[in-house]
């Protein structure tokens, strides 16, 4: 494990919010010696981003998920897990709740853009980090016109999703162009908080969106920090960052996207967990200066100079 600075602004100035408490079973997948390491959650004094430090190294993260994969269905069978999730009554189902919100919001967005119906939109849906495919299953029931795709790195989950959902599912790491198509809707739920370099994958997703496509991001809401105890599972080692609406918006902007709508859902079900959900689209005007090549910078300079001379 190693100490880290703020990912969002690179500042080394941070204040301790609290120390993680209790037994963290995920550390056993890496090394039991790590239980002796004091693990804190910090807030950046410069920009307000919340993150853990110290964090696992890249090798330790790879080891964690390699060992975790072997124990995914240790206490149940894949089909029993799938059937249990999709059998949750709609009133209690997180998957149904977010799908209905997406359905309503997409309809509103289309109406605002000229009264078009969502009857044939979205045409293509990609779930990045689709797990066992339970969300894709629910999404498919509510958007029957859409072709479904999924990407999942954990083999047991990917195999389950491919078998139980009418979708094209790949067992690999996500990158843009993986399916050689662009998507009207990309789902990215309960994944971003696990990723050490979130800007990289968000930029990849921006490239995979269709011209009027939308990215749906769901992460734990920062309100968990003052509503859950320090030994809660949300604060265990797989979670690296905690997002607020402001910090996630900043990250999406840097990835070349604009927020369309966002909402926070507080204290869901018996576990009292909260979520932040954001729909974003690719920006038509924002220029990702951080990621330009030297030739693109020259082209940009000439474009700006030409514009200013003609104003």
Q: What pLDDT, on the 0 to 100 scale, is given for residue 279?
A: 97
Tens digits of per-residue pLDDT, 18-34? 999 999 999 999 999 99
DSSP string for the chain: -B----TTT----EEEEEE--S--GGGGGT-GGGGGS--EEEEETTT--EEEESB--HHHHHHHHHHHHTTTTSSS-HHHHHHHHHTS-GGG-HHHHHHHHHHHHHHHHHHHTTS--STT--SEEEEET-TTSHHHHHHHHH-TTSEEEEE-SSHHHHHHHHHHSSSEEE-S---TTTTSS-EEEEEEES-GGG-S-HHHHHHHHHHHEEEEEEEEEEEEBGGGGGTS-TTSGGGSTT--EEB-HHHHHHHHHHTTEEEEEEEEEEEETTTTEEEEEEEEEE-SS---GGG--HHHHHHHHHHHHHHHHT-
Q: What pLDDT, on the 0 to 100 scale, is given for residue 283?
A: 87
Confidence (pTM): 0.89
Share of the chain above pLDDT 90, in %: 76
- The residue ranges of every structural domain in the chain are 87-306
**Superfamily classification of domain 87-306:** Vaccinia Virus protein VP39 (3.40.50.150)
Q: What pLDDT, on the 0 to 100 scale, is given for residue 295?
A: 67
In the predicted structure, residue 257 carries a pLDDT above the cut 60 = yes
């Amino acid at each position: 494990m190693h100490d880290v600075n703020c990912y969002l602004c690179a500042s080394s100035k941070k204040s301790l919010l609290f120390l993680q408490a209790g037994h963290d079973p995920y550390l056993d997948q890496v090394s039991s010696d790590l239980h002796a390491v004091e693990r804190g959650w910090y807030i950046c004094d410069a920009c307000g981003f919340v993150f853990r430090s110290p964090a696992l190294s890249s090798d330790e993260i790879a080891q964690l998920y390699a060992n975790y994969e072997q124990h995914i269905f240790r206490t149940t069978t894949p089909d029993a897990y799938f059937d249990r999730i999709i059998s949750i009554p709609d009133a209690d189902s997180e998957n149904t709740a977010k799908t209905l919100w997406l359905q309503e919001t997409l309809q509103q967005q289309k109406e605002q853009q000229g009264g078009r119906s969502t009857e044939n939109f979205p045409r293509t849906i990609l779930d990045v980090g689709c797990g066992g495919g339970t969300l894709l299953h629910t999404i498919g029931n509510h958007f029957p016109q859409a072709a479904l795709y999924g990407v999942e790195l954990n083999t047991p989950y990917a195999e389950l999703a491919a078998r139980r959902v009418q979708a094209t599912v790949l067992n690999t790491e996500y990158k843009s162009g993986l399916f050689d198509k662009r998507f009207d809707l990309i789902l990215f739920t309960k994944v971003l908080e696990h990723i050490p370099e979130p800007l990289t994958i968000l930029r990849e997703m921006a490239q995979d969106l269709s011209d009027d496509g939308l990215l749906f991001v769901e992460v734990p809401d920062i309100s968990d920090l003052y509503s859950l105890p320090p030994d809660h599972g949300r604060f265990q080692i797989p979670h690296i960052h905690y997002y607020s609406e402001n910090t996630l918006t900043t990250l999406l902007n840097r990835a070349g996207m604009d927020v369309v709508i966002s909402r926070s859902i507080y204290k869901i079900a018996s576990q009292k967990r909260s979520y932040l959900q954001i729909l974003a689209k690719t920006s038509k005007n924002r220029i990702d200066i951080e990621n330009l090549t030297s030739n693109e910078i020259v082209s940009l300079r000439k474009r700006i100079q030409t514009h200013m001379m003609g104003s």
